[in-house]
A and B are shown apart, each in its own frame.
Chain A
Amino acid sequence: MRETKPETWSLPEAAARLRSGEISSRELTISCFKRIHEHDGNIGAFLCLTEASALLAADASDERRETKQTLGLLDGVPVAVKDMILTEGVPTTAGSKILEGYRPPYDGTVVAKLKSAGAVMMGKLNQDEFAMGSSTESSAYKLCKNPWDFYRTPGGSSGGSAAAVAAGFVFGTLGTDTGGSIRQPASFCGIAGIKPTYGRVSRQGVVAYASSLDQVGPFAKDVSGAAIMLQAIAGHDARDSTSVKQAVPDYLQALTGDVKGLKIGIPREYFIEGLDAEVRDSVQKSIAALQASGAEIIDVSLPHTEHAVATYYVIATAEAASNLSRYDGVRFGPRLGDQNGLLSMYEETRGQLFGPEVKRRIMLGTYVLSAGYYDAYYLRAQKVRRLFADDFKNAFQNVDVIVCPTTPTPAFGIGEKSDDPLQMYLNDIFTVSANLAGLPAMSLLTGFSKQGLPLGTQIIGRPFDESTLMNAAFAVEQTLNIERDLGW
């Protein structure tokens, strides 16, 4: 029977089987590692596996279950995190050679929270170097392939996090999203991925890319799995001054599927020329599903959308140039060129160990921050950023959530855009706005193309109202009831 194969289970299904005693956490963990060993050679989702500690954690979970001290839904469930997130004693490279061999002395808050919820940490996931990319092709270690089509990318930058869930290697993962790095790979890999509101989840112990935009969030096959993961990591953290003191609601309870009277905004600027017809159809199906469930559909305008990518690249690269100055050969990773003095050490370590895309962004960021250009680029981009926030504020006066495409096309081919950085950047057109405005947004599976590629729909919500947006996503998911079968 197909259902008995753990790789086909969603996170809630795995949790239910652990709870009923149908399978132990040790058995489930071993079965996940078996699948990883069989198939990850083709996919490339993991940069590092932590088998010994995972089995210890699984045994501890089984013991808790036996003594009726289970910690909750995630107890005993195999999960993994993007290599941007610090893990005590476990290599953390952010996909870069400049952090090769770095073993952090502590866990990032989100990892500590997953562990204290009883989740079994299976390893670290592949990504674009320092989360700079939309295809995981800028990983300094290896390519990651889309589980639905090995000639295509899984998206990025959290490509490994999305591919690992889609491939049935683990049940939930964490990624980071600075301009779409959770939602775009979730869409390309046919799963659910949430970028929470800026400030909802602690970034303490997460490698910084662009600090005013970065946010950690979960992936799972379905909306309720993602809600369970988000529940575990959300909340204020005194060690991250950008995390916000806001009560965290019960997300699972919010998933009623009842959207009667919910006002759904459709931004006309997102249905542009160049939007793939099948992507458009799948978004239209999501909208129709919501309407059939009693939601009200309202046309809205986000007039600055065409400037989103430009604004994003000025702000993100400026912040990146500043954040990445800490990688200087002194404290982390390998050190090169030190026999010729300090400046040579800095320049050689950075010049040789950062990859091409990281160097491009550091150079652009340095340029937009440099004397004479700061006002024209960086300051101006910060002003335009406010216009984005105002666009959304205006729209959310009339609607509860916004529904739109996640990406202009389904997953693109490996190598298809890697020679043209600007084309790669433009793929983020529909996702960067939510980061600029700090809003929660998610992508979920809403169809397949004729070629068998997953198609996603994005739902954007009001600040700190992840519940409403996840419930809208849940309603779409329930109505469309899309079957997924990888075929392997």
Chain B
Amino acid sequence: MIFAAAEVRKLARLARLSLSDEEVSSMQHHLGEVTKYVDSLQKINVDQVEPMTHAVPLDLPLRVDEARPGVGRLGLVSSAGYEDGLIKVPKIIE
């Protein structure tokens, strides 16, 4: 089974990945092969089985509501490019 090129392109758009024609073609085969392999999971009876999302039960601890020194705005985005202390990004509303 191979994936249709259009389907690969649609997934690439969802994943925000530009792919060359060559990559699309190799992805058609790869996705086909791997989904065929993982289809073995369809044979397992999972009726009445609760999904397991984490290995340990998680609570949602809240930290104490107090100010702590951070790393600073500019420290967090090291390579983004700045102007007047602001982060530069392309226009987001055309």
Contacts and interface: CB of A to CB of B under 8 A. Distances in A.
Nearest to A321: B15
Contact of A331 (B27, B41, B44, B80): B80
Contact of A342 (B51, B75, B89): B89
A360 B31 CA distance: 8
B4 interface: no
A396 B56 CA distance: 16
Given A332-B77, A379-B51, A381-B41, A313 B34 contact: yes
B56 A331 contact: no
Instruction: Label chain B's interface by main secondary structure.
Output: loop
B49 to A, nearest CB: 4
Interface string B1-28: 0000000100111111111000100110
Interface string B70-82: 0110011111110
Contacts, number: 175
B25 to A, nearest CB: 13
B41 A307 contact: yes
B47 to A, nearest CB: 9
Given A366-B14, A380-B46, A212 B54 contact: yes
A335 B23 CA distance: 21
A406 B52 CA distance: 25
B79 A325 contact: no
B88 to A, nearest CB: 9
B84 interface: no
Interface in B47-94: 49-56, 58, 60-61, 63, 71-72, 75-81, 87, 89-92, 94
Nearest to B76: A105
Contacts of A337: 18
A364 B27 CA distance: 9
Contact of A386 (B18, B31, B37, B50): B50
A351 B18 contact: yes
B34 A422 contact: yes
A463 interface: yes
A244 B63 CA distance: 15
Given A212-B55, A313-B38, A386-B50, A367 B77 contact: no
19 contacts: A105-B76, A241-B58, A310-B41, A321-B15, A330-B80, A335-B81, A337-B18, A338-B89, A339-B90, A341-B91, A342-B92, A347-B17, A363-B17, A366-B15, A379-B51, A380-B41, A384-B41, A437-B55, A463-B56
Interface of A: 101-106, 197-199, 212-213, 238, 241-242, 244, 304, 306-307, 309-311, 313-314, 321, 325, 328, 330-335, 337-339, 341-343, 345-348, 350-352, 354, 356, 359-360, 362-364, 366-367, 370, 376-377, 379-387, 389, 421-422, 425, 435-439, 463
